[in-house]
Amino acid sequence: MSRHKYKRLKHQITSVPSRWYFCLSFAITILLGWVGVAAAQDSNTNNFTNLSTIWLLVSSFLVFFMNAGFAMLEAGLCRRRNATNVLAKNLIVFCISALAFWLIGFGLMFGDGITYSCVPGENTSLSLVGQKGLFFNLPFPQFGNLGFPESGFNCLNQDWSNHSFASLFLFQLVFAGTAATIVSGAVAERVKFWAFLLFSFFLVGFIYPVTGHWVWGHYGWLAKALKFHDFAGSTVVHSVGGMAALVGAWLLKPRQGRFGYNLRTDRYEGLETEKFSADNLGLATLGCLILWLGWFGFNGGSAKDLDYVANTITTTMMAAAAGGISSVFFSPIILGKPSLASIINGILGGLVGITASAAFVDIRSAFIIGSISGIFVLLGEYFIQVWKIDDPVGSIPVHLFCGFWETIVIYIKF
């Protein structure tokens, strides 16, 4: 290469990033300044309304990106010949979830009741499901009352007073999509495509929002009568999704040859006839890291008060790390030897475990919760093998076992 060409190439390499860095720095400066102005434009009761809404939107983007993590994780832990089907289900399930949650689920979960008032002190009744707000529309432009409809969601407006209606709907929508995606991993490689779509619509449209209303609804009977707490969804999202995954995997039976199962005779005959090892652990590891990142929005966005966000994200990080370490140390005792798949699920188990209490505990408690969650993942993997339940990616141990464990912990705490 001539000296002239070398200098030109060096100039291109050094100058282009510099311009991009300058533009990026300038954009960030403008954004931070705008956020600061937005947060300070009202120094009284509504001081952090705009900033709270922005953080909720950012959290929604992080939770939505978790769909990519689930897709990578499932494609990496399943066999290559089924990768296209696995990826297609992960892609379309969010489309179905969005439709079902808008049409039915959001109203059942957060809609007002016909017979009770949301004014404090005027009503003490309990409710099983929201009765208003089905097929709602978004008021536009969203001036005054933060874009809440004139009727149907007065209780939600009271509970989330500093957030816009559209941002709340988006945040809860990506939560609902996560609950449906949990199931896809447990039934991978054998569920029919259209059957899975129908099941996902029913889960997100009816099962998930009804359970969510019991815990997060303004007059939900679990929250009011039993003083039940679930900060970000160890029970509402993960236990419900994990139980649905267990039922689905049990009904579908194992894959052909798994645990010696013969699909034609519906019997378990001898040893496994095929290899069921993960196809691409690199892809699965990438999926784990994406989910880990997304969980900061999952838990951090659930904080109604911005003062709790930093603590919530920190405890989430610690619980995930503790879950991964715990799975390494206890794998030789429970499963015989540590594996990358067990480490991945240990990290995810720690994240599921801390989800119900991330804003209520300190960092030491988060470490303990994450460590025990890692053990529960290993126990779950052991028991589903004993019970001959085919779960290709470990959705049941991660979401059901760890979700159940944290449900008990948070109930005892409160």
Q: How far apart are CA 341 and CA 219, in angstroms?
A: 41
Tokens linked to 88: 């297609």
Quickly list H helices, 187-280. Answer: 193-202, 208-216, 221-225, 240-252
Q: How far apart are CA 378 and CA 330, in angstroms?
A: 8
CB atoms within 10 A of CB 277: 9
CB atoms within 10 A of CB 377: 35
Contact 380, 396 (CB under 8 A): yes
Per-residue exposure over 185-221, b if at least 16 CB sit within 10 Å of its own CB, e if not: bbbbbbbeeeebbebbbbbbbebbbbbbbbbbbbbbb
CB atoms within 10 A of CB 170: 19
Q: Can you give the pLDDT at residue 270?
A: 75
- Helix, coil or strand: residue 322: helix
Mean pLDDT by 10 residues, the chain (414 residues): 49 45 47 44 54 92 96 92 90 94 95 76 75 84 74 88 90 94 92 92 96 92 88 94 95 89 84 78 95 96 92 96 96 89 96 94 94 96 93 95 89 70
CB atoms within 10 A of CB 285: 17
Q: How far apart are CA 414 and CA 185, in angstroms?
A: 33
Tokens linked to 100: 């079902």
pTM, whole model, 2 decimals?
0.87
Tokens linked to 284: 């699965």
Q: Can you give the pLDDT at residue 226?
A: 85
Contact 210, 108 (CB under 8 A): yes
Angle between helices 402-413 and 363-386 in degrees, nearest 10: 140
